[in-house]
Amino acid sequence: MAANVLQLLELLETRLDQKNAELEALRAENSRLKQQLARGEAAPPQIAQAPLPTEESQPQAERQHQEKPPVVAEQTPPQEEINETPAPAVEPAAEATQPPSPHALLKQWYQRYPNAFFKGHTKPLKVGIHHDLAEREPWSGKLVRRALANYVNLPRYIKSMREGVERVDLEGNPAGKVDKEAAQHASARRHESQATKATETAPTPRAKPAQRTPLPRKEKRQEVPRQEKTEQAKPLSLEEKLKGLQQKFEGR
């Protein structure tokens, strides 16, 4: 759930940055067009720049003025045409200022700062290095912190945070050492990650089948008719037959 919320926030931030970039490009284009329009209106016409004709050349100048149309209309286009001209620089500017994702920005740092960000053997970074990154990177501080969090939460970086190990800046120069508190914090995080991995990989115990308790009542009921059947199945002796006949006669 938290990952979905973070992805939604990143998407909204990228869209907001895109809209801001488009707005800035439109403002720059609008100011440029206003400057062009102001220059066209302030420029004096070429007829006024021409030298005044003398008394000898006045008839010839009047003839040229009547034959040739004024040049001012050709040089200054109407305002409607200026407003209708497209602004091709808006879309490239918006594409160029589109911020990358934190993961993509971290990939760029591997190439841009090879002495600070490592893919193999990792070294601890300088304390407060996010300020240096914010000064050099053109992106927002929030995006810089997220990309940096992706790097410092890697298991190899947490493993490198041991007491006394030298820290480095963006150029790879020494920038202090890891203190005891930072090393203990990294060790606690390392043990937590190992514990979570152990719980995730441990197999879940299967439930044992429930043992059925015997039913003594039913067994007793079943034993009684069996005994009666066995008794009925035994053959009668002669004495038993005689006793039975005597009982019949006595009853009569």
pLDDT in tens, 108-122: 999 999 999 998 889
Question: 168 pairs with which residues across the strands?
Answer: 125, 174
**Residues 6 or more apart in contact with residue 150 via CB below 8 angstroms:** 102, 103, 106
pLDDT-derived band of residue 123, with 50, 70 and 90 as boundaries?
very high
46-97 pLDDT per residue, tens? 444 444 545 444 445 444 545 554 444 445 555 555 455 555 454 544 445 7
Q: What's residue 231's pLDDT?
A: 55
Q: What's residue 120's pLDDT?
A: 86
R_g of the chain computed on alpha carbons: 49
Torsion sign, CA atoms 141, 147, 148, 150: positive
Q: Please tell me which residue, 241 or 83, carries the higher pLDDT value.
A: 241
149-174 pLDDT per residue, tens? 999 999 999 999 999 999 999 999 99
CATH architecture of the domain 102-199 equals Orthogonal Bundle (1.10)
Q: What's residue 77's pLDDT?
A: 52
| Residue spans of beta strands (DSSP E) within 95-226 | 166-168, 174-177
User: What SS3 class is residue 237?
Assistant: coil
Residue 195 CA to residue 12 CA, distance in Å, equals 35
Model pTM above 0.75? no
Q: What's residue 156's pLDDT?
A: 92
**Residues 6 or more apart in contact with residue 248 via CB below 8 angstroms:** none
| Residue spans of beta strands (DSSP E) within the chain | 166-168, 174-177
